[in-house]
C-alpha cells in the first residue's frame, strides 16, 4: 500500500467500484425521452422510499432534473452492457438516443416518466429533494412505482447473481457481472 495526499482533484477515483448502474430516464421536449447511466446512485431511505442519483450539470439530463421533472431509474442485466455503454457515450443534446439506438420506450404507471425495455427492475421517481455537492447535484426521488421482473429476484426480493445478473461498472469503460457465489451470513 502507498499513500498520497490529495489536492483539488483526484486523478483516479474508482477505489469503491464496482457499482451497479442506474439508467436515468427523463422526458425530453425534442426526442420524447432521454436516458443516461449513473453509477453514482444510492438508496437513501426506506420510509418514505427514497433513491438518489448524482448528476453533473454537464449532462443534458441535468436540465430536466433541475427543472423538477419526475424521472425513472432502471437496472439492467450484464447482457445489456452495450446498450448502457452507448447511452453513456453520447448526449441527448446532440443525439436523439431513442432513434439512434432504436430504443423501446414505455411510460410510467404512476408518473409521466419514460422507461426502457430490457431492465430487470425500475423505479418511477417523484422529485423529493436536491443537494448540490461539489461538481455534481444529488437528485433525490421518492419511489412512486416499482417495476420488477419477478424472475430476477429470490423469494426475499433479492436480485441474486443467478437470477438478476446485475450489470456492474468498474470505471474507465469496464463492465462486469457479479460472481455466482453468495453466502447468507446472519449472526443474530
Ligand X SMILES: Cc1cc2nc3c(=O)[nH]c(=O)nc-3n(C[C@H](O)[C@H](O)[C@H](O)COP(=O)(O)O)c2cc1C
| Nearest residue to 148 via CA among 75, 81, 69 | 75
Grid cell listed for 178: 457479479
Q: Does 34 bind ligand X (CB under 6 A)?
A: yes
Strand partners, 126: 142
Q: Does 83 bind ligand X (CB under 6 A)?
A: no
Interface positions, 128-187, toward ligand X (CB under 6 A): 136, 169
Q: Does 36 bind ligand X (CB under 6 A)?
A: yes
Q: Provide the minimum distance between the beta carbon of 148 and ligand X in the complex, in angstroms, as a whole number.
A: 22
Strand-by-strand arrangement of the 41-45 sheet:
32-38, 22-28, 71-75, 121-133, 136-148, 50-55, 41-45
Q: Does 119 bind ligand X (CB under 6 A)?
A: no
By beta-carbon proximity to ligand X, the closer residue of 85 and 105 is: 85
Q: Provide the minimum distance between the beta carbon of 1 and ligand X in the complex, in angstroms, as a whole number.
A: 27
Region of 7-15, 37-45, 73-81, 110-118 interacting with ligand X (CB under 6 A):
37-45
Dihedral (Cα; 148, 151, 157, 161), 10-degree rounding = -110
Q: Does 88 bind ligand X (CB under 6 A)?
A: yes
From candidates 20, 91, 96, 160, binder to ligand X by CB under 6 A: 91
Region of 2-10, 29-37, 109-117, 140-148 interacting with ligand X (CB under 6 A):
29-37
Q: Does 96 bind ligand X (CB under 6 A)?
A: no
By beta-carbon proximity to ligand X, the closer residue of 92 and 114 is: 92
What is the C-alpha separation between 155 and 150, in angstroms, rounded?
9
With a CB cutoff of 8 Å and minimum separation 6, the contacts of 39 are 17, 19, 20, 21, 22, 169, 171
By beta-carbon proximity to ligand X, the closer residue of 22 and 164 is: 22
What is the C-alpha separation between 2 and 91, in angstroms, rounded?
37
Cα–Cα separations (whole angstroms), residue 162 to 77, 78, 123, 152, 175: 11, 11, 22, 8, 17
Q: Provide the minimum distance between the beta carbon of 150 and ligand X in the complex, in angstroms, as a whole number.
A: 26
Q: Which residues bind ligand X (CB under 6 A)?
A: 21, 34, 36-40, 54-56, 59-61, 85, 88, 90-93, 136, 169
Amino acid at each position: 500500500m502507498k499513500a498520497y495526499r490529495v489536492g483539488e482533484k483526484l486523478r483516479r477515483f474508482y477505489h469503491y467500484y464496482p457499482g451497479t448502474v442506474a439508467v436515468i430516464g427523463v422526458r425530453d421536449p425534442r426526442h420524447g425521452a432521454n436516458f443516461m447511466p449513473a453509477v453514482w446512485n444510492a438508496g437513501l431511505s426506506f420510509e418514505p422510499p427514497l433513491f438518489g442519483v448524482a448528476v453533473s450539470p454537464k449532462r443534458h439530463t441535468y436540465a430536466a432534473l433541475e427543472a423538477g421533472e419526475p424521472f425513472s431509474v432502471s437496472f439492467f442485466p450484464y447482457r445489456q452492457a452495450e446498450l448502457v455503454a452507448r447511452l453513456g457515450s453520447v448526449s441527448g443534446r446532440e443525439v436523439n438516443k431513442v432513434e439512434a439506438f432504436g430504443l423501446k420506450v414505455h411510460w410510467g404507471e404512476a408518473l409521466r416518466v419514460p422507461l426502457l425495455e430490457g431492465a430487470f427492475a425500475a423505479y418511477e421517481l417523484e422529485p423529493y429533494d436536491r443537494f448540490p455537492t461539489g461538481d455534481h447535484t444529488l437528485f433525490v426521488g421518492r419511489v412512486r412505482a416499482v417495476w420488477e421482473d419477478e424472475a430476477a429476484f429470490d423469494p426475499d426480493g433479492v436480485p441474486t447473481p443467478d437470477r438478476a445478473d446485475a450489470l456492474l461498472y468498474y470505471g474507465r469503460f469496464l463492465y462486469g457481472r457479479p460472481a455466482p457465489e453468495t453466502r447468507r451470513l446472519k449472526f443474530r
